[in-house]
Structure 1
Amino acid sequence: MSNPARYFYPAVFTYAPDQEIAVVFPDLDVATSGVDESDALLSARELLGITMFGLEQDGAPIPAPSRVSDIPLEANERAVLVDVYMPSVRLASANRAVSRTVTLPAWLNAQAMERGFNFSQVLQEALKEKLQA
């Protein structure tokens, strides 16, 4: 069975004076925070994506999300339904680094090392320029 394109999970936003907004996903036992509501929501969405991707990669069971109305709350808490679009998360993981062996003339290698060039960075920049990416 394929994994869904989008997940929806409730998160509890906890507000306290002079503190970041704490965000907890009760169904997933993970937490984050944000300096304001926008930042907290973005952090929550990012955490949800990372968490769900990890579960998918591990082949772990995906817990069923609770209903927002079933989440017990304190006076300084709000339940928020957070969603994440997984194709973007999955694609981002494909941008991992890969190792390549490069052969250079000895004189070129020596000059580059003497000047402290980062070979990976120079190669990436040159490839992006050639590919116009």
Structure 2
Amino acid sequence: MKNRLLYPCVVKEEDGIFYANFVNFEGCFTDGKTLEEVVRNAKDVLSGMLFTMAKNNIPFPKSENSELKLENGEFLIYVDVWISPIVEKARNQAVKKTLTIPKWLNDEAEKQALNFSNILQTALKEALGI
């Protein structure tokens, strides 16, 4: 996977507000009072979309715009995102798990103030050989 991804974003100004829409992503859009603000917001919303996709193991779309047709007043910008930290954050995000253990085992572990999460992580890594 590339470290940086570049996606086309269609921008249009209407009534003093800039609107930005990423055509490669359904529902990925933002706005801003200035061009600078909408570009900054576009980068944030794109990062959020990519994080959600990475967290849910959804492949990222290709950054193509070959069939992109701009309407009157629209212009195209390209927004780049450094993808490595987004994917890493999604991979390392904590996930809550509910499990059942015998009461006596729970009581003994709590007496010794053992960290259940840490022990489970260690045991899973050992079982997986990682």
Q: With structure 2 as the length reference, what TM-score do the two structures score?
A: 0.60
Answer yes or no: is the 8 Å Cα contact 1:23–1:31 preserved in 2: yes
Q: Which runs of 5+ in 2 are unaligned?
A: 95-130
Counterpart residue number, 1:15: 13
Runs of 4+ in 1 over 6 A off after TM superposition: 91-94
Root-mean-square deviation (CA), in Å? Answer: 2.4
What is the alpha-carbon distance in structure 1 between the residues aligned to residue 43 and residue 33 of structure 2?
A: 15
Over the matched positions of the two proteins, sequence identity in percent amounts to 22
| CA 1:55–1:93: 2 relative to 1, 3 Å | closer
Whether the 8 Å contact between 2:6 and 2:78 is mirrored in structure 1 is: yes
Deviation of residue 54 (structure 1)?
A: 1.1
**CA apart distance, 1:4:** 3.3
Which one of the candidate residues 48, 51, 60 is aligned to 2:49? 51
How many pairs does the alignment contain? 92
Q: Could you tell me which amino acid in structure 1 is paired with residue 55 of structure 2? A: Q
TM-score normalised to structure 1 length: 0.59
User: 1:18-41, CA deviations, whole angstroms, 9 ceiling, x for partnerless residues?
Assistant: 3x2010001102111111111010
Structure 1 unaligned runs (5+)? 98-133
